[in-house]
Structure 1
Amino acid sequence: MHSDIASYMLPVSQIKTEPLLKRFGKKAKLQEVVFEVEIAAATAESELLAEQAATAGEFTILVQPNHFTVKATYRNKTIEVTSFESYVERTIAVPEDVDCSQITTAVVIEPDGNTRHVPTKIVIEGGKNYAKVNSLTNSRFVLVGHSAQFADMAGHWAREAVNDLGSRMIIQGNSSGCFNPNQSITRAEYTDAIVKGLGLKPQSGITPFPDVNKADWFSCSANAAYTYGLISGLADGKFHPADFITREQAIEIIAKAMKLTGLRAKLLFTSDSASAEQTLSAFIDAGLISGCAKSSVNDCLQAGIIVGMTGAELAPKTYISKAEAAIIVRRLLMKSGLI
């Protein structure tokens, strides 16, 4: 669906008709359901909400909100389709008077004013600039500028990745403006970065883990990660949020995220037939990898998301640093074509 301000590529398979029909009632017939797809420019109300969010989030609005909605109507009842099982692409036209180099990402602005990053990349088509925005939900999307330059990243090998994720509002520094890149990252911090990087909607409510409280800063991210099958807890069923995460554990979560982004399915057609054992045999410490994690490590190696700590070592039991975490989250998004 195309308009002057944006386009919307919505696979029909993403509209799950059976759940809709159940909500309409037992007698509802699919051929009588009317679907409406809408692209709408900003209203005065949404512009005000965006301005308030920009002030709170310390970012600059570069292109005003665009609303994307899908509605299903059966007789007198209308249901809005707000979420999908895989990423749906929207393309937003960038006005000629906007400097594309200043656009760092698109954000979703929720009705309550909260914002979240959604994977975004700038492309040129037909001599014009566009922002391709991929999201698992419908909402109002705003193109923004938010430059992040962490004080302790100058000269660091992960500087580009860390500052990029900071500019996209995926990661944050401390009160002193530092990121502490060489510090080990906790399971809570890593999960939060993955959820924000993928643009998943935080989910409030009771958590599935006995060691996560509803009031914990990371509880909504943990809930979202659990809902999308990215985490399931450790052997004891707990999340262990304050524990540092090992490279092996971090890779397992990334491998699950690869399925969500569609990268795993793409690999099935582009990878060779080598087994995980054969791929891992090039590393002298492959025997340290847990049996359940070998396929995940293999997938991430083939996708180019991870490399060895050295030419011959994977160091699966070593704690991963914040800089390494930023690198692999960014690679996941780039290899998946989302940024």
Structure 2
Amino acid sequence: MPTKVVVIDSKYYAKVNSLTNSTYSIVWHPIVFEDVAQHWAKDAVNDMGSRMVIEGTGEGKFNPDQGMTRAEFAASIVRGLGLKPENGGTPFSDVKVTDWYSSAINVAYAYDLINGFEDGAFRPNDQITREQAMVIINKAMTITNLYAGLPDQSNDVILRPYMDATEASVWALSSIAKSVQSGIVSGRSSTQLAPKANISRAEVAALVKRLLQKSELI
């Protein structure tokens, strides 16, 4: 569950922000990945790892610059928001009940966070692109009510600094603009958005952390 520590009358309390009803326990689960010690995303990676939102790749490593699959990204968003997993049959032709990510895919679909392709497939093992990730983040912003504080601006105005914004898919343009406007997503430079590039594991950690912070969930 998204959790923040607050201080009231000199006492520390854990505030659990849940979108569902259940019983919770507070755990201390610090993680430090050895291969992000000098990485720009060190704080986000270790924080999200400690919160059990993202997972390492084994042997104490995270591989921050490696790409992430569509299934891994969906699972990270579901864990980040603390959505309750759903078992059972999946809505996509290429996601089996026995797949490790099937429950995360089910709940992400139930909350309208993800869509498949026209052929009915989800392509869980494909690398997810930055624009695909931004579409999902935009939908997550709806769940966390982050839209309320955003001023009304056109996509052109928001994306004007990025020379390659024209490379973005038409279906993703509005989501990209809102993700950028919210401050959750930034370009790979001040002028490059790289919408078609695969998103890295480090970028995902930073993006999910910003989503939760700006939604005041952590």
Distance 2:115 2:64 in 1: 27
Distance 1:218 1:190 in 2: 10
Structure 1 position 232, deviation (Å): 1.2
Distance 1:173 1:274 in 2: 38
Distance 1:265 1:230 in 2: 19
Aligned to 2:134: 251
The number of equivalent residue pairs is 218
Structure 1 position 217, deviation (Å): 0.3
In structure 2, relative to structure 1, the CA distance for the partners of 1:237 and 1:277 (3 Å cut) is farther
Aligned to 1:303: 182
- Asked if the contact 1:259/1:265 (under 8 Å) is kept, the reply is no
Distance 2:52 2:170 in 1: 35
Distance 1:302 1:125 in 2: 33
Percent of aligned pairs sharing the same letter? 53
Is 1:291 the counterpart of 2:170? The answer is yes
Aligned to 2:69: 186
The amino acid that maps onto 1:323 is A
Q: For 1:1-339, list aligned pairs within 5 A.
A: 118-267=1-150, 271=151, 273-339=152-218
Distance 2:153 2:91 in 1: 37
Structure 2: tracts of 5 or more residues without a match: none
The structure 1 segments of at least 4 consecutive aligned residues displaced by more than 4 Å after TM superposition are: none
Deviation digits for residues 181-238 of structure 1 (CA, Å, limit 9, x no counterpart): 1101110111111110110111100000000000000000000000000001123321
Distance 2:122 2:160 in 1: 31
The amino acid that maps onto 2:107 is A
Deviation digits for residues 254-273 of structure 1 (CA, Å, limit 9, x no counterpart): 00000001112232xxx2x3
- Asked if the contact 2:90/2:97 (under 8 Å) is kept, the reply is yes
- Normalising by structure 2, we get a TM-score of 0.97
Structure 1 position 160, deviation (Å): 0.6
Distance 2:167 2:79 in 1: 30
Distance 1:151 1:246 in 2: 26
Structure 1 position 274, deviation (Å): 2.4
- Asked if the contact 2:162/2:193 (under 8 Å) is kept, the reply is yes
Distance 2:130 2:120 in 1: 20
The amino acid that maps onto 1:334 is Q
The amino acid that maps onto 1:185 is M
Deviation digits for residues 59-106 of structure 1 (CA, Å, limit 9, x no counterpart): xxxxxxxxxxxxxxxxxxxxxxxxxxxxxxxxxxxxxxxxxxxxxxxx
- Asked if the contact 2:86/2:103 (under 8 Å) is kept, the reply is yes
Q: Which secondary structure does the structure 2 equivalent of 1:136 belong to?
A: coil
Structure 1 position 278, deviation (Å): 1.8
Structure 1 position 172, deviation (Å): 1.5
- Asked if the contact 2:161/2:190 (under 8 Å) is kept, the reply is no
Rg larger for? 1
CA RMSD between the two structures: 1.1
Structure 1 position 332, deviation (Å): 0.3
- Normalising by structure 1, we get a TM-score of 0.63
Q: Which secondary structure does the structure 2 equivalent of 1:160 belong to?
A: helix
